[in-house]
Structure 1
Amino acid sequence: MRKLHKYVLVVLATAVAAASCKNDEYDNRSPFDNVVYLDVAEADAIQLTTFKKTLPTLERTFSVVMSYPSAEDVRVRVEVDPSLVADYNARNATSWTMLDGAYYELAAGEVTIPAGRTSSDLLTLTFKNLDGSGDVSELPIDATYLVPVTISSADGAGLLAGSATAYYVVKRSSAITSAASLRDNWINFPTLDKAGPQSDLFNNLTAVTYEAIIRVDDFSKHSEISTIMGVENYLLLRIGDASFPRQQLQFDGTGDSANTPGFGKFPKKDESKLLNAGEWYHIAATYSYATREVCIYVNGKLQSRGTDLGNPASTPFNLAGRAFYDLYLQDPVKNEQYKGWGTFRQFFLGKSYDDTRQLNGDITEVRVWNVARSEQEIWENMYDVDPQTPGLIGYWKFDEGEGNVIRDWTGNGNDGVAEFDLEWPSGIEVPQLNKE
């Protein structure tokens, strides 16, 4: 027993010593093995900073990171270094100039990574006076500038060369610079499910135009269908279908009752009409009872036209059918005819039949009209339109850049609400084809 007791004590002592070494492992490492770097530069040394021309200020945050904790505080100096612009241009075959100091400010030149930690507090790079609201003239539109932010030195640690500098590529753009990702997400419209003036705008229609600017990352993800907008099995603009190319637009006006468009799935499959992954497209689809004509436009140009399609104009169609069920709930006796409307599918952006048909990409500039817009009207207003234009009943610019609520710019109050937290990609700049 005495020998066993001694053996147990030896094992425990060894375990404690090992644990102590593990907890203070960084104490025994050479400081030259430790390095510091910018967290944003580790992901991508080129930080695209494109913003809309009306923005007066813009902030970008980052932190300094160490490869492992130090036993002592580590002071790190961070600065904007104009001398790095020439090197960047030489390596990237560009000719951009350094942004004037009147338009930016780095909040702190020195930060400390406390002992036992691997990251500093956030640093803020502020771009200011962009619209000329300060004592300087406004930053020129569509000109590109550089702001290299670099770690100049660190006490007790080396620099991770490839990630010690972040190059902020700054551009005040006339183009669309904000879009939301609908990957595994979609946009709901709660006001369209309730009876009232807001949902009335989307019901009793005799013509419609859907518009959106989209960029799909990958057509192979999820199901055969990528949903853009509309109402499932009623009036839906989507990409792909069963036995139909995944990359071809389809306007689905399925339904054979009098109060549905009833023009079926349009157009037929055509391998010459495929969209490419990673490209921005302005998409529009129109239908009118008066002409019984269905049209699809890509980048402002007619792609497909069908005539003599759909039901006669005996009964208008509805995009907010749930609102009629709300009338029934308010007065079941008076509105008994709407008793079965609780199953009417809702109007969404990025969702249709189930949770697997989202748009695997980004979306911006979404509109719904109660008229069939002409090709010329669509071409001229692809990237912007007056929110008070007659016939425009829903307009979601997606220019918030953050948050989960998408404002309805018509003033009608049909704001969109994301099902999950939205992602807002940075560096967005949609080419304006009608201005080239």
Structure 2
Amino acid sequence: MKIRKIYLLMAVMAIGMFAACQDDMENFDNKVYSTSDPISKFVLKPSVKSATKTIRASVAKPADSDIHLTYKADPSLVSTYNQAYYAGAVLLPQEYYELSGVDAVINKGSVASTEVVVDFKDLNLLSTEQVYVLPVTISEATNIDILSSARTNYFVFEGGALINVVADMKKENYISFPTFMESKASGEVCNNLHNYTLEALIRVHEFSPGIQTVMGIEGYFLIRISDNGLQPNQLQVSTGAFGSLTDPATCLLTANKWTHIALVGDAEAGELRLYIDGQLMITKAATGAWQDISLGKPMKQNSWEPESRPFYIGYSYSAGRELDGEFSECRIWNVAKTQDEIVNNVYEVDPESEGLVAYWKFDEGEGKIVRDHTGNGNDGVAASVIAWTPVALPAAVE
């Protein structure tokens, strides 16, 4: 008898719990909530002037009728954010953002709302010593309640490292450029370069026998590590016009160390200059007439060669020559940069800088697309989804 009572009691409790869960689900079903990230963080940098975010809301089951939503920036919620995250944030001033329409709608029969766009501007003028927050909340909704715990999106701005994420190729991945491979018009900015500078910030995990590729075109103009007769960690520039640039005394790289490489072609001086971490390592004069280079289309050095090859980052000739390491800040310029300009701009440059024709920051943090920040449209595509690594560069000096 006692056992039957215990089972009966357990059954009643189970029914009660199920009913409570059903009540909770029903309450949730009848409320609208934000589906966008509750907190979006931005790093303030001199080179980042603007940003755009979208906000959307949803309900758990299709709406019986149109649901109209109104959003607003709510300064009173700054203190809520600070209490929750122990932050000393201040309200982002109104002149630094625009809400492109404050109304959204969940149409009848749908579960997702239209977007509200938040545009941020002049971010480079904000102090990197201060944390700013903009709370944007659903203030009104027709015919439905708002889930109070999920109605607000916080946009947070603060100073930080210039580089926060990099791409790890892991000796198997690389970047190709469809616009270059197909000789599209957008690639013309990288062709017929009279003066030029190529830059890359890399960290190699391990140097093993065999070639590891940085960037360029095989058999034409290529920055790589090692070759037959070279040390596994010996940087080399292989060109058709200039031959090979390398020196076992000055061009040895260190594993697991961030290294900045800059190759300058100076037509007026008639020479190539190779810099490692801002230090001039090799100068090589042209032995004949100066030759311009083209990187925005497939090229070959000699007409008798069987095929032209395109520009890659992290790949050349065949599989097995990928870089066992990470990439950041790859750039092509149509000017010969000075040593001071190279030293002072290792970790970022203004995408609108004069002479900058291609700029791949490798800062996306997801997916396999590497965006060209110049706006010229020569985005890169990885062979497979990129392994993204969080970093903080430059590293703090202790």
**How large is the Cα RMSD of the aligned pairs?**
6.0
Q: Give the partner amino acid of 2:260.
A: I
1:225-274, Cα deviation, whole Å (9 max, x unpaired): 875422335653457999x99xx97633358x88521649998887x531
Question: How many Å separate the matches in 2 of 1:323 and 1:158?
Answer: 52
Deviation at 1:47, TM superposition (A): 1.2
Say if 2:131 and 2:156, in contact at 8 Å, map to a contact too.
Answer: yes
Secondary structure, in 3 states, of the residue corresponding to 2:243? coil
Which of 33, 36, 39 aligns to 2:32? It is 36
The equivalent residue for 1:274 is: 256
Q: Does the 8 Å contact 2:212/2:224 carry over to 1?
A: yes
Q: Which residue of 2 aligns with 1:296?
A: 276
Q: Which residue number in structure 1 is paired with residue 222 of structure 2?
A: 236
Aligned to 1:345: 309
Contact kept? 1:234, 1:252, Cα under 8 Å? no
Whole-Å Cα distance in 1 between the matches of residues 63 and 188 of structure 2?
62
TM-score, structure 2 normalization: 0.58
Partner of 1:46: 39
Which amino acid is 1:340 matched to? W
Contact 2:201 2:260 in 1 (8 A): yes
Letter in 1 for 2:32: V
Q: CA deviation at 1:167?
A: 1.2
* 1:288-334 deviation line (CA, Å, top 9, x unaligned): 9999996522xx4x5x96x7x99x9646896847999989xxxxxxx
CA contact (8 A) 2:298 2:309 kept: no
Q: Is the 8 A contact 2:225 2:236 kept in 1?
A: no
Contact persistence 2:101–2:116 (CA under 8 A): yes
- Give the counterpart of 1:150 among 121, 127, 137: 137
Alignment-mate amino acid for residue 145 of structure 1: Y
The alpha-carbon distance between structure 1 residues 260 and 125, as it changes in their structure 2 partners (threshold 3 A), is same
Report how many aligned residue pairs link the two structures. Answer: 343
Report what 2:331 is aligned to: 366
Q: Contact (CA 8 Å) 1:145, 1:170: kept in 2 or not?
A: yes
Q: Which moved more, 1:116-125 or 1:167-176?
A: 167-176
Confirm or deny that 1:378 pairs with 2:339: no
| Stretches of structure 2 lacking an aligned partner (at least 5 in a row) | 1-24
How far apart, in 1, do the equivalents of 2:276 and 2:317 lie? 22
Preserved contact between residue 144 and residue 170 of structure 1 (Cα < 8 Å):
yes
2:79 to 86, 105, 108: 86
Structure 1 Cα separation of the partners of residues 93 and 296 of structure 2: 55
Q: How far apart, CA to CA, are the structure 2 residues paired with 1:197 and 1:100?
A: 40
- Paired with 2:338 and 2:116, the residues of 1 have a C-alpha distance of 48
In the alignment, structure 1 segments of 5+ residues that lack a partner are 1-28, 132-137, 203-207, 276-280, 328-336, 409-414
Identity across aligned pairs (percent)? 22
Shift, 1:64, TM fit: 0.9
8 Å Cα contact 2:166-2:391 kept in structure 1 = no
Task: Find the partner of 1:64 among 47, 51, 57.
Answer: 57
TM-score, normalising length: structure 1:
0.54
Q: 1:38, 1:164 within 8 Å by CA — same for their partners in 2?
A: yes
Residues 260 and 317 in structure 1, CA contact (< 8 A), matched pair in contact too: no
* Structure 1 Cα separation of the partners of residues 92 and 102 of structure 2: 18
Letter in 2 for 1:296: I
Aligned to 1:40, the other structure's residue is in SS state coil
Superposed CA deviations along residues 396-432 of structure 1, whole A, max 9, x for unmatched, are 3459x99976649xxxxxx6723559x9xxxx99856
Secondary structure (helix, strand or coil) at the match of 2:133 reads: strand
Q: 1:315 to 1:34 in 2, by over 3 A?
A: farther
Q: 1:152 to 1:50 in 2, by over 3 A?
A: same
1:101 aligned to which of 74, 79, 94: 94
Measured in 2, the distance between the counterparts of 1:195 and 1:78 equals: 44
Contact 2:234 2:246 in 1 (8 A): no
